[in-house]
Structure 1
Amino acid sequence: MIKEIQTERLILRKMKLSDSASLFKIWSNPEVTEFMNINTFTDESQAVEMIEILNNLSLENRAIRYSIVEMESNRIIGSCGYNAIDSSNAKAEIGYDISKDYWGKGYAPEAIQSLMDYAFNILKFNRIEAKVEPENNNSMKVLQKLNFTFEGTMRKCEKSKGKFIDLSIFSKLATD
């Protein structure tokens, strides 16, 4: 799996332990984590632990997470990646988060487009999926901007923060 992807304004590079302070700042904001399946972080050690978990999944080719670096400032402004990789079915599920200071600037669609380009053109995947809580309007706007198709809502399908939640599923196919 590629360790770095560049876009016009961003560098997506495989997450590393030295990113923990920057990612902690992002993941400690309740507005950022509101729709993530993690509790808001209260200590940087939680970010270190999360990076270790994600890196272990990467070693098993089950997932990969990238730190999103804004080229102009060289700051980490979020993370994105393939939350689940299913090579045998040529598909992956994507996920993303952006620091609140950078919301509304088009960074999420730019990062996600680069993940889709890599998945479709290099990995030759057929399908990219995204699961979003129905109340997460900002995330749904990102997916709509990228022409994902809304497939439906899975009722009470996953447990997040101690309760079962609905998830809307969106997809994009290589042929779309």
Structure 2
Amino acid sequence: MNLSEPFTTSRLHFRLLNQSDTDAVYKQFSDPDMCRYFSEPPCDYNEAVEIIEHYAQPEGKDHHRYGMFDRETGSFIGTCGYHYWDAERKQVEIGYDIWKDYWGQGYMSEALLPPPLSFSR
């Protein structure tokens, strides 16, 4: 899989973040309700730009993050990705953040679980 290619689930569209997402990323990572769950303090606008730049070229890195968007409305829902990829140990740390209006609606289960298998006889 090419990490730069967008993909979808039934309700979500995943793609690389770009500079047009700066306002949404800033809103997400500067909101006090959201930041109480992050290991980083609230960001300022310039730091939001840096977050996007940090994840711009994912190929070959040990970290990556996709923007998650509602497939019907295009609204920014949050981000999802990984940190600390260790190919030798075959382990990775998964991280995500969902805007508070979308909490409790099953978006991360949808994002992280593979689609159900179907078998035919």
TM-score for both structures, normalised by structure 1:
0.58
Sequence identity percentage: 35
Give the structure 2 partner of residue 152 of structure 1.
none
Give the structure 1 partner of residue 90 of structure 2.
90
Whole-angstrom CA distance in 2 between matches of 1:11 and 1:17: 17
Asked if 1:21 is matched to 2:23, the reply is: yes
Map 1:97-116 onto structure 2 (within 5 A).
97-113=97-113
Whole-angstrom CA distance in 2 between matches of 1:112 and 1:25: 24
Unaligned runs of 5+ in 2: 115-121
Whole-angstrom CA distance in 1 between matches of 2:39 and 2:3: 25
Q: Deviations over 1:12-41 (max 9, x none)?
A: 112222211111111121111112111112
Whole-angstrom CA distance in 2 between matches of 1:87 and 1:18: 32
8 Å CA contact 2:3, 2:59 repeated in 1: no
2:102 alignment partner AA: Y
2:107 alignment partner AA: Y
Give the structure 2 partner of residue 10 of structure 1.
12
8 Å CA contact 1:12, 1:111 repeated in 2: no
Give the structure 1 partner of residue 51 of structure 2.
50
8 Å CA contact 2:66, 2:79 repeated in 1: yes
Whole-angstrom CA distance in 2 between matches of 1:91 and 1:5: 22
Question: Alignment length, in residue pairs?
Answer: 112
Please identify which structure carries the higher helix content: 1
Give the structure 2 partner of residue 79 of structure 1.
79
Whole-angstrom CA distance in 2 between matches of 1:17 and 1:28: 17
Whole-angstrom CA distance in 2 between matches of 1:91 and 1:31: 30
Q: Deviations over 1:91-137 (max 9, x none)?
A: 22100000011111111221222xxx4xxxxxxxxxxxxxxxxxxxx
Give the structure 2 partner of residue 67 of structure 1.
67
Shift of 1:59: 4.4
Unaligned runs of 5+ in 1: 118-176
Whole-angstrom CA distance in 1 between matches of 2:17 and 2:85: 17
Give the structure 1 partner of residue 118 of structure 2.
none
**CA RMSD of superposed structures (Å):** 1.7
